[in-house]
Structure 1
Amino acid sequence: MKKGLFSRALFFTMMLVFVLALAACSEKEAATPAPGTKTEEGKTEEKPANEEGVYSIEDFSNVKTNEGTAIEGGSLTFGLVSDTAFEGTLNFNFYSGNPDAQVLQWFDEGLLTWDKNYVYTNDGAATYETSEDGKTFTLTIRDNVNWHDGKPVTAEDLQFAYEVIGSKGYDGPRYDSKFTSVVGMDEFHAGKAKTISGIKVLSDKKISITYKEATPSLLTGGLWTYPLAKHIFGNMDVAKMSSSKEVREKPIGFGPFKVETITPGESVTFVKNEDYWRGTPKLDKVTLKVINPTTVVQELKSGGVDLVDAFPTDQYKDNANMSNVEFLGAVDRAYTYIGFKLGTWDAENGKVVTNPDAKMADKNLRKAMWLAVDNDQVGKRFYNGLRWNATTLIPPSHPEFHDSSNPGVKYDPEAAKKLLDEAGYKMDGEFRTKPDGSPLEINFISMTGGDTAEPLARYYVQSWAAIGLKVNLEMIEFNNFYDRVGNTGKDDPNVDVYQAAWGVGIDVDPAGLYGRDALYNFSRFSSEENDKLLARGVSAEAFDVEKRKEIYNEWQQYMVDEVPVFPTLYRAVVAPVNKRVMNYAIGDGTGIYLNDLAVNADKPVVAE
Structure 2
Amino acid sequence: MKKLLITLLSITMASSILLAACSNDSSAPASGSAQSATADTKGTENSSTTPAVAELTAPIAASDLSKLPAQAQKRTDTIIVGLTDPSGAFTPYFQQSGYDGNVSSVLYASLVTVDDKGLPIPDLAEKWDISPDGLTYTFHLRKDLKFSDGTPLTADDVAFTWTLIHDKSYDGQSELLTTIAIKGGKAYKEGKAKLIEGIKVIDPETISVTIDKPNAKGLTILGSEILSKAYYGKDYKFGSLDYIKKLHATPVGTGPYKLEKFIPGQEVRFVANEFYYKGKPKTEHFIYKTTEGDTWQFIETGEQDYGSFQATQENIDKLKGLGFLNIIPYTANNYGYLQFNLEHPTLKDKKVRQALTYGLDRKTIYVDANQGAGQIANIPASPISWSYTEEGINPYNYEPEKAKQLLDEAGWKEGADGIREKDGQKLKIHFIGSKSKATDIFIAVAKENYTAIGVQLEAEQFADFNAQIAKFESGDFDLVSFSTPILGDPSDGVISFVNGEVKGYDNPKVKELYEKGLATSDIEARKVVYKELYQVINDDAPYIFTSYRKSVVAYNGRIEGLSISPLRGLSASLPDWKLK
TM superposition score category, shorter chain reference: 0.7 to 0.9
Other-structure match for 1:59: 57
Q: 1:583 to 1:510 in 2, by over 3 A?
A: closer
What secondary structure, in the 3-state scheme, does the structure 1 residue paired with 2:121 have? Answer: coil
What secondary structure, in the 3-state scheme, does the structure 2 residue paired with 1:334 have? Answer: coil
Other-structure match for 2:168: 168
Q: % of aligned pairs identical?
A: 24
Whole-angstrom distance in 2 between the partners of 1:229 and 1:154: 9
User: Which residues of structure 2 form unaligned runs of 5+?
Assistant: 1-25, 42-48, 67-72
Other-structure match for 1:352: none
Whole-angstrom distance in 2 between the partners of 1:65 and 1:120: 37
Structure 1 counterpart of 2:480, from 498, 501, 508: 498
Q: 1:467 to 1:239 in 2, by over 3 A?
A: same
- Say if 1:34 and 1:376, in contact at 8 Å, map to a contact too: no
- Say if 2:267 and 2:288, in contact at 8 Å, map to a contact too: yes
In the TM superposition, 1:433-472 aligns within 5 A as: 433-448=420-435, 450-472=436-458
- Say if 1:425 and 1:432, in contact at 8 Å, map to a contact too: no
Q: Deviations over 1:422-448 (max 9, x none)?
A: 222110123443443532322221223
- Say if 2:50 and 2:372, in contact at 8 Å, map to a contact too: no
Other-structure match for 2:224: 225
- The Cα of 1:215 is off from its aligned counterpart by 2.3
- The Cα of 1:224 is off from its aligned counterpart by 4.7
Q: 1:291 to 1:125 in 2, by over 3 A?
A: farther
1:378 counterpart = 2:365: yes
Structure 2 counterpart of 1:239, from 235, 238, 241: 241
Q: 1:123 to 1:236 in 2, by over 3 A?
A: closer
- Say if 2:380 and 2:494, in contact at 8 Å, map to a contact too: no
Q: 1:160 to 1:39 in 2, by over 3 A?
A: farther
- Say if 2:64 and 2:324, in contact at 8 Å, map to a contact too: no
Other-structure match for 2:315: 316
Whole-angstrom distance in 1 between the partners of 2:63 and 2:227: 37
Greater relative contact order (Cα < 8 A, sep 6+): 2
Q: Deviations over 1:97-134 (max 9, x none)?
A: 22222222322221212122212113555422211111
Other-structure match for 1:548: 526
Q: 1:547 to 1:179 in 2, by over 3 A?
A: closer
Q: 1:342 to 1:463 in 2, by over 3 A?
A: same
- Say if 2:333 and 2:382, in contact at 8 Å, map to a contact too: yes
Other-structure match for 2:299: 300
Which letter does structure 2 place at the counterpart of 1:140? H
Whole-angstrom distance in 1 between the partners of 2:295 and 2:478: 33
Q: 1:209 to 1:87 in 2, by over 3 A?
A: same
Structure 1 counterpart of 2:516, from 525, 533, 536: 536
Q: 1:384 to 1:202 in 2, by over 3 A?
A: farther
What secondary structure, in the 3-state scheme, does the structure 2 residue paired with 1:121 have? Answer: strand
What secondary structure, in the 3-state scheme, does the structure 2 residue paired with 1:243 have? Answer: helix
What secondary structure, in the 3-state scheme, does the structure 2 residue paired with 1:207 have? Answer: strand
1:148 counterpart = 2:148: yes
User: Which residues of structure 1 form unaligned runs of 5+?
Assistant: 1-13, 19-32, 41-49, 344-356, 601-608
Q: Deviations over 1:187-237 (max 9, x none)?
A: 122222222111111111221121111122225x34352111111121146
Q: 1:124 to 1:151 in 2, by over 3 A?
A: closer
- The Cα of 1:396 is off from its aligned counterpart by 2.1
Whole-angstrom distance in 2 between the partners of 1:93 and 1:267: 22
What secondary structure, in the 3-state scheme, does the structure 1 residue paired with 2:333 have? Answer: strand
Whole-angstrom distance in 2 between the partners of 1:124 and 1:66: 40
- Say if 1:331 and 1:396, in contact at 8 Å, map to a contact too: no
Q: 1:560 to 1:63 in 2, by over 3 A?
A: farther
Other-structure match for 2:285: 285
Whole-angstrom distance in 2 between the partners of 1:526 and 1:114: 31
Count of residues in correspondence between the two structures: 527
1:420 counterpart = 2:407: yes
Whole-angstrom distance in 1 between the partners of 2:97 and 2:64: 32
- Say if 2:106 and 2:571, in contact at 8 Å, map to a contact too: no
- Say if 1:166 and 1:179, in contact at 8 Å, map to a contact too: no
Q: 1:81 to 1:508 in 2, by over 3 A?
A: same
Which letter does structure 2 place at the counterpart of 1:145? L
Whole-angstrom distance in 1 between the partners of 2:267 and 2:571: 28
Which letter does structure 2 place at the counterpart of 1:506? G
CA RMSD of aligned residues (A): 3.2
Which letter does structure 1 place at the counterpart of 2:483? A
Structure 2 counterpart of 1:526, from 486, 493, 506: 506
Whole-angstrom distance in 1 between the partners of 2:259 and 2:244: 17
Normalising to structure 1: TM-score of the pair? 0.79
Whole-angstrom distance in 1 between the partners of 2:62 and 2:221: 30
- The Cα of 1:498 is off from its aligned counterpart by 1.6
- The Cα of 1:179 is off from its aligned counterpart by 5.7
1:129 counterpart = 2:129: yes
- Say if 2:61 and 2:327, in contact at 8 Å, map to a contact too: no
Q: 1:124 to 1:37 in 2, by over 3 A?
A: farther
- The Cα of 1:524 is off from its aligned counterpart by 3.1
Structure 2 counterpart of 1:391, from 378, 382, 388: 378
Q: Deviations over 1:16-65 (max 9, x none)?
A: xx9xxxxxxxxxxxxxx97277899xxxxxxxxx8546335x63549999
Which letter does structure 1 place at the counterpart of 2:441? P
Which letter does structure 2 place at the counterpart of 1:543? S
Q: 1:431 to 1:142 in 2, by over 3 A?
A: farther
Which letter does structure 1 place at the counterpart of 2:245? S
1:338 counterpart = 2:320: no
What secondary structure, in the 3-state scheme, does the structure 2 residue paired with 1:415 have? Answer: helix
Whole-angstrom distance in 2 between the partners of 1:51 and 1:36: 8
Other-structure match for 2:44: none
1:507 counterpart = 2:489: yes
Normalising to structure 2: TM-score of the pair? 0.83
What secondary structure, in the 3-state scheme, does the structure 1 residue paired with 2:353 have? Answer: helix
What secondary structure, in the 3-state scheme, does the structure 1 residue paired with 2:547 have? Answer: strand
